[in-house]
Amino acid sequence: MSIIMSTSRGPHSYDRLRDVPVKRENVGGVATGLRGIMESMGGKWVCWGDGTMDSRFQHEDMGKYSIERVMLSQREKKGYYDEYSNSVLWPLFHYFREKIEYDSRSYEQYESVNKKFASEIAKVSQAGDIIWIHDYQLSLVPGMLREMGIQNKIIFTWHIPWVASEFYFLLPERDQLIKSISQSDSITFHTMDYARNFISSVARSTGSSDSVKSRVHSIPLGIDYRRFNQYRRDHSLRKKHGKSIIFSIDRLDYSKGLVNRAQSIEYFIRKYPEYREKFTFIMVVTPSRSNISGYEDIKDNLEMNIGRINGLYGSINWMPIVYMYRRLSQGQLLNYYYNADVALITPLKDGLNLVAEEFVATTERGILVISEFAGVSDYLSESITVNPNSTMDIADKLKLALDMSDEERMKRLKVMKEFIIKHDDRWWAKKVLGTLKGSKRP
């Protein structure tokens, strides 16, 4: 028995640089989260070969596991990825109705790419293998596999929020998605709310949720704690800087609440002038989905706001916001996590948010300020939660974090670290696989 993992984005890709393939580690929760699990469990990882030189690596042996890449044409990529996945499903499942750009032709491409994934999975799997499919890009795959006569156990894990059923019902293909996902033996979400919303969407779509209820689970994805904990500690950044460091890192996305966050720093400076020149907010934004309309607009808006705020309050000695728009190496990222006094993570809606877990794993004294609309806030109860829509609330909570006594910080951190250590990525994989025991699909 082996595991056939399937995600849209793979762990890494190969891009062409002067005719030579250059490896690119992929960012994003799912690719990052599953890498360690595959390294320990082994199996096959079926994913999209999105790199410009991935066609040379359609099958890649990684030692413990192999990568099987599905190649897409430009037209397929546009309809499947840019349009249906990221301009329909992504905004819908994050409650951004005004960002949905619906075109029925993109669904046709989504369907045919899901078929390609299903065929590849059917090709590489053997009787007894467990097929584990991930996320909104591949929602039609379970149903397609069943139509092909595949009888293997199927797990489907949904990594983003599942919205309330009346909102879900905006989607023209609401019945098709539900019908397909429901043919899995186990369906997992990151929080109880998402699981409940899914069950009520099934009831609305089919008249009853009785047949799926017992197969739906809420199990939060954990991180490979050891990778963060083994970091060579270097606190020279904080020492040299001499000011409190507030830190955030996100993919460029409207769901991340980036503009609100920058504006809350402005509000913080105005409301609490005694903090001027006493802190620096290091805001790292990682390029993502740059072909999709709407993503460049938020970048412009964010950069305009940061420029305005730094222009108003900055001086030769102090810039309130140090902004970076680029990918960081793992070493740089860990260095920021370790040196930050506060991680300020304020998405307007987020399935879970692994950055929060990574920060808690790395820091030795930092405090986490997290949006109450990020799934992870259900679990990290000793963090400081904020309403990301309120610049006032963010500013007040930031003050609370910066003023917190060391004793209180350490007390809170200890509880959160214990949670992260206990609920790591291996725990998650074991728990999800364990749901197959006794699961009965009608």
Q: How far is the CB of 154 from ligand G6P (least distance, A)?
A: 18
Cβ-based nearer residue to ligand G6P, 211 or 293: 293
Residue nearest to ligand G6P (CB): 28
Q: In this complex, which beta carbon is closest to ligand G6P, that of residue 134 or of residue 409? A: 134
CB-hemisphere CA count at 13 Å for 84? 25
Q: Is 36 exposed, middle or buried (0-12, 13-18, 19+ CB in 10 A)?
A: buried
Q: How far is the CB of 159 from ligand G6P (least distance, A)?
A: 4
Q: CB of residue 139 vs ligand G6P: minimum separation in angstroms?
A: 11
Q: Name which of 88 and 321 has its Cβ closer to ligand G6P.
A: 88
Nearer to ligand G6P, 294 or 307 (CB): 294
Residue 160 Cβ vs ligand G6P, minimum distance, rounded to whole Å = 5
CB 90, min distance to ligand G6P, A: 8
Judged by CB, which is closer to ligand G6P: 38, or 309?
38
Cβ–Cβ under 8 Å, residues 371 and 276: no
CB of 228 vs ligand G6P, minimal distance in Å: 18
Nearest distance, CB of residue 366 and ligand G6P, angstroms? 23
Residues that bind ligand G6P (CB under 6 A): 8-9, 28-31, 135, 159-160, 288-289, 351
Cβ proximity to ligand G6P, 30 vs 118, nearer residue: 30
Considering beta carbons, is residue 13 or 310 the nearer one to ligand G6P?
13
